[in-house]
Amino acid sequence: MSQFQGTVAFITGGNRGIGLETARELGQRGIKVVIGVRDLPRGEAAVAELKRQNIEAEAIHYDASQADSIAGVVTHLQKHYGKLDILVNNAGVLRETLIGGNQSSSVSPAVLRDTFEINFFAVIELTQALLPLIRQSPAGRIVNLSSILASLTLHSQEDSPIAQAKSVAYNASKTALNAYTVHLADELKGSGIKVNAAHPGWVKTDLGGENAPMEVEGSGKTSVQLATLDANGATGGFFHDGQALPW
C-alpha cells in the first residue's frame, strides 16, 4: 500500500502541460488527483489519459478568471473528501513576449491587471477558500508555481543569467506570488501545513514556447517534491529540483 493512500491533491490548470504532468507524477505515487479545468471535455480527456496509466483522477470546473468558480471546487472537495491534502496552484498566464524586448516603460495597464488577476489574486482567493479543507489534512501542502524570472536577485545581477527575460507583468506577478508564499508560510507555522514556491524549469509548453530546453515529461518534479515533503521539510522557500533559489 502506498504511503499516500487516501491523499487528495487539487491541481489547477491540470489538463495539459506542467499541470497534467504534475497530476501524473502525483498519481503515480498513489495520490488521488483532482484537476481543475476551464474546459470540462478537455479535462475529461486528460482524466481518461491518466486512468489508462492506472491513476485515480477526476476533473472539475475551475477557471482562475472567474472567482465564482471557486465555490464549486470547495463544495465538491468538501462533499467527496472532507479535506484537501495538497493544493498545487499551477494555472497561470503570460501576456507578453517571454524573451527579448524589455517593455517595462510601455506595458499596458490591461496586461498588468490581467496577469496579476490570474497569477496572483486568483491564487490567493482560491487558497484562502480551500484553507479550511487543508487544515483538515494531517499534512497539508501548498505549492505555488512561480518562476526563476521572479528572482529580483538574479535580475539585478550585472551578469544575470535571465537578463533577456524582462516580461515585467509576468515576472512581477510571480515575485508577488513569492511574497505571498513567504507570508502565508509564516502565518501557518506550527499548523503542520507547508507552503512553498516552485520553479519547474523552462518547459516546452504553450507558455514556455518551443525554444524551451525542457520537455514536459518530468516537469512536475519540483512541484511533486514540495507536495510530498515530510514533517521535516522546508516551508516558506523557493525551490527548483531540491535546490533553493534566490529571492
CATH number assigned to the domain comprising residue 100? 3.40.50.720
Q: Is the dihedral of CA 10, 32, 38, 229 positive or negative?
A: positive
87/99 Cα distance (integer angstroms): 30
Q: Please, are residues 96 and 103 in contact by the beta-carbon 8 Å criterion? A: yes
Residue type, 28: Q
Going by C-alpha positions, the residue among 75, 69, 67 that lies closest to residue 125 is 67
200/143 Cα distance (integer angstroms): 11
Residue 75 forms part of a structural domain: yes
Residue 19 forms part of a structural domain: yes
Number of compact structural domains in the chain = 1
Residue 31 forms part of a structural domain: yes
Residue 3 forms part of a structural domain: no
Q: What is the reported pLDDT for 78?
A: 98
Residue 204 forms part of a structural domain: yes
223/47 Cα distance (integer angstroms): 19
Residue 169 forms part of a structural domain: yes
Residue 2 forms part of a structural domain: no
Q: Which residues pair with 11 in a beta bridge?
A: 35, 88
Per-residue pLDDT of the chain (247 residues; tens, 9 = 90+): 578 989 999 999 999 888 999 999 999 999 999 999 999 999 999 999 999 999 999 999 999 999 999 999 999 999 999 999 999 999 999 998 878 779 999 999 999 999 999 999 999 999 999 999 999 999 999 999 999 999 999 999 999 988 888 899 999 999 999 999 999 999 999 999 999 999 987 644 555 555 544 455 666 899 999 999 999 999 999 999 999 999 9
Q: By residue range, what is the domain housing residue 176?
A: 8-244
Residue 1 forms part of a structural domain: no
This prediction has a pTM of 0.94
Phi-psi region of 218 (alpha: psi -120 to 50; beta: other; left: phi over 0): left
Q: What is the reported pLDDT for 101?
A: 78
Q: What is the reported pLDDT for 205?
A: 56
Non-local CB neighbours of 203 within 8 Å, separated by 6+ positions? 17, 18, 212, 214, 215, 216, 219
**Strand locations in 13-169, DSSP E?**
32-37, 57-61, 86-89, 141-145
